[in-house]
Structure 1
Amino acid sequence: MARQRPDGPFRWRTNCVRPVAPPFRRPPRLNLQQVATRSKGAPVSIGNSPEDDRPSPDDRPSPYDDEEFESVGSVLKQARVAAGMTVEEVSSETRVRVSIVHAIEKDDFSRCGGDVYARGHIRTIARAVGTDPAPLLERYDGEHGGRPEPTAAAPLFEAERIRPEPRRPNWTVAMVAAIVVVIGFVGFTLFNGGESGSGSKDPVAEGTPTSGKPAPKPTPSKPADPKPDPADSAIAGAPKDKVTVMVSAPEGRSWISAKDHNGRLLFDGLLEKGQTKTFTDKQQVDLVLGDAGAIKLYVNGEEVEDEFEPGQVERLSYTKGDSGDDPQVG
């Protein structure tokens, strides 16, 4: 810098040299293939030949790389929400477990058990939520290596004919039959010889006089003890300090119900023909007879003289002071 005299007081003039900037150079333009390749970290050659500008098959953009293209799981989830269905409702309708439905909506097909089952689940869920499964299956095949090829069935081979072996004679059965015949012949011979020996002694037996003692008279056998009457057993076994009701079905079956004074159920069921039930309580027994005409009642040791008609339903109550003639009709 050169310093000069000031023209006025405290004024100096300086000559400054400004640096000259290099000329601006515009960077070369890159095509789409070169930009995509450079973003991946691979070396890029900037050339003007048509072969360099032509994208390779591996670098061609895929229709599924578009961010606006929704995944299979998101499409199914949006369709389910639009249909107003929950995951549990979809699972109940499609028979697909809830955890698998959640996984598919998150594009996790590892729980499906393979591509075949995954495609089946996608098709079933899409139909349940009211969307077309065809584009979803195409999307799934494009992301998972295409549709699985059907496996050829194993060839069927005609089974060899089994030649029947010639049957051999069963000598064991023949020997057993021969032994049985020999034993039978020997036994028959011995039996006939014994009868001829006993026949020669018959005339001697006929000539012997019989003894004069008369034959003893047969003693009459005692009659069997008759079976005890249910009424007698009810009378003998009835306690005095309780109410005892015995229900019998001598002529037919009937439904009966019995409760104690607290309302606790003692019996509720069918009383078959010939069966007997006895109910005891400290205060009161309540009965319901479905077919009163087929029932015999014994209350506190006394038979109830009823006039119930067949098929008649009766509600009766008995206490420990009642007899067979004074029931309390419920």
Structure 2
Amino acid sequence: MSIGNSPEDDRPSFTEDDRPSVGRALQEARIDAGLTVDEVSTATRVRIPIVHAIEQDDFSRCGGDVYARGHIRTIARAVGIDPAPLIERFDAEHGGRPAPTPAAPLFEAERIRPEPRRPNWTAAMVAAIVAVIGFVGFTLFKGDDQGTKNPVAEGTPTAQSGKPSPDKPTPTKPGDQKPDPGNSAIAGAPKGKVTVLITADEGRSWISAKDHNGRLMFDGLLEQGQSKSFTDKQRIDLVVGDAGAIKLFVNGKEVKDDFKPGQVERLSYTKGDNGADPEVG
């Protein structure tokens, strides 16, 4: 029998349990919606073996309770039922909701590529400091040199000592003003395209981003304080491992959503979105 070709082939034969389990409830809702496992996997980006395991109440392939809840919530929305009762049932059967899981080991079942090498920020910072010191020293040396080569002629009033020249700007160091991610997102949002900016504001979070053709744009960790932006002409699909740790800007507008710490979110945005609730993929 081919897997996922006919929804009616998957209908369970149980009749005696008036309150179906989490997996059975998802399976029945999928069949009632006329969807196959393949179609649910395509719509939610949850792999086919994991969908089959969840429908059999086997959550061991989800990577932990936090991610199992995320799968249940995403699949429930895809088949058209309310995920809240299923989450409550899952929590009751698995000892309640645990403390948020750190983002480092998350979603190994969903990882597509190994984590890319991080840039050497220490070396970049040292180079920036050296450049600033050199610029300030050059500016001071140039000012002293001009003072010795241009003596004041007789009868010309001398400039008052201790007062800077109004035409000479005071050099500023890079980093004196921190850019606002919101302003950057608005200024950098090109018209006719979809632009997504993610900032790890409250902690580090694992991010996976794909373009409208399904090509992987980024897959890795954002450390706290880091940002990443993505642009596509039609759509950007995201998987966020710790949604409560990030700030999200879509087409120059901040997404105001109550993401919880440790919560896994699958989000989809198009060029017509303006920071409202995302399309659930």
Q: Compute the TM-score of the two structures, normalised by the length of structure 1.
A: 0.33
Based on CA coordinates, which of the two structures has the bigger radius of gyration? 1
Q: Compute the TM-score of the two structures, normalised by the length of structure 2.
A: 0.38
Structure with larger RCO (C-alpha < 8 A, sep 6+): 2
